[in-house]
Amino acid sequence: MSKEIQRWADSQQYAREPIPEESRRKISVSLLNATPDPLGSLVALNGIYTGKVIRNLSDPRITDETRRQALEDMLSTTLSGPLESVQFHFLIEGVTRSITHQMVRSRFSFFAQESLRFAVPDGDWAEEIPLPPYLSRTHGNDAPGAETRPVEYARNIWDEHMQNTQRAYQGLINCGMPAEEARGILPHDMPTRIHWVMDLRTLLLEAGKRTCTQAQFPWRIIFGEIAKALREYGSQFGNGGPGNPEHGCDEWQFHLIADKIRPVCYQVGRCTFMAQFDRDCSIRGRVDQNAKAGRPSSEWHDDAEVPTSLGRVIPDIQDWEWAADPAAARRA
């Protein structure tokens, strides 16, 4: 059977743009637009609380120092409304629909997603579907005895199912079934594209929840790519002094914001997932020890071990433990 769609039941249908081959089975994030002087906006807003009326972001009272202090102030108070003045527009590609189902639960963002009612997957799209962490450790293996190697055997089952689903979907479309009906057989992990427009308050809130080990592992990849996109966006302007008059942007501001994309325990200094229904976490014990010792998260990675009141030491926490371990919250 040909891999290309031969028949269209609805004139509104169109061939979905495939994921570029070099980006297949990967998540990529582009920052399309952002507030030019994000932290300068915070300085102006925060100023009103202390009687400083700032009418222009070129005001000499807005300096690199006051910009940094404005962000730290916002992260030290519950009066976080000024963070909503800073806007970001991201395009996320290669993310699965199972993840975007979770993404759109955010009530303080705007989303525009590629529609499977009209965007018809064409060609060999089964090769675009990201492999879950369990399978990405291996390649398919049809050799005798594969059933004795669980991961390889599972990979064979996965690949066969995805290829069968691709053939079935293309067959239904070629039979004249509208895409909005045929899409019912497509997998949850179908890769998609989605625009995500949010403010800085939402960015930090979602990052805190979604980079935590409680969230599904692909979220950590997404926010790692968001941090990368922030740094790349700032780098295109460079540093031209406060406010960078030529471009209205400073590179370091976006790098600083990217550095704040951390689990919520790093943001507030303690674990906030303490309900009975919350999952386990491989670093929670050390986070609790650090919180009791009054040790800020900026020191959690230090080589120095800090004695506690019980005479114990607190082992270091490494980034990979929460960022790169899919099973960090999984109890066997």
pLDDT digits (tens, 9 = 90+) for 244-271: 444 456 899 999 999 999 999 999 999 9
Domains, the chain, with CATH or none = 1-31+86-238 (3.30.1360.170), 264-332 (no CATH)
Angle at 91 between CA 89 and CA 97, to 5 degrees: 125
Distance between CA 178 and CA 228 in Å, rounded? 39
144-167 in b/e form (b: 16+ CB < 10 A) is: eebeeeeebbebbebbeebeebbe
Q: Residue 168: CB partners within 8 Å, gap ≥ 6? A: 185
CB 210 within 8 A of CB 223: yes
User: Distance between CA atoms of 160 and 147, rounded to whole angstroms?
Assistant: 15
310 or 263, which is more confident? 263
Q: What is the arithmetic mean of pLDDT over 86-115?
A: 94
The more confident residue out of 269 and 20 is: 269
Mean pLDDT for 224-253 is: 76
Q: State how far the Cα of 217 lies from the Cα of 134, in Å rounded to an integer.
A: 11
Query: Is pLDDT at 216 greater than 60 in this prediction?
Result: yes
Of the pLDDT bands very low, low, confident and very high (cuts 50, 70, 90), residue 140 is: very low
Q: 33: which strand partners?
A: 89
Closest CA to 42 of 90, 78, 84, 76: 84
Among left, alpha and beta (phi > 0; psi -120 to 50; other), residue 293 is alpha
CA nearest neighbour of 19 among 116, 124, 115, 97: 124
Q: Are the beta carbons of 266 and 325 closer than 8 angstroms?
A: no
> In terms of DSSP bridges, do strands 14-15 and 87-96 run parallel, antiparallel, or are they unpaired?
unpaired
Average pLDDT over residues 15-24: 82
Say what the pTM is. Answer: 0.89
pLDDT tier at 21, thresholds 50, 70, 90 = confident
Which whole number is the average pLDDT over 59-67? 95
**Average pLDDT of the residues in 50-64:** 94
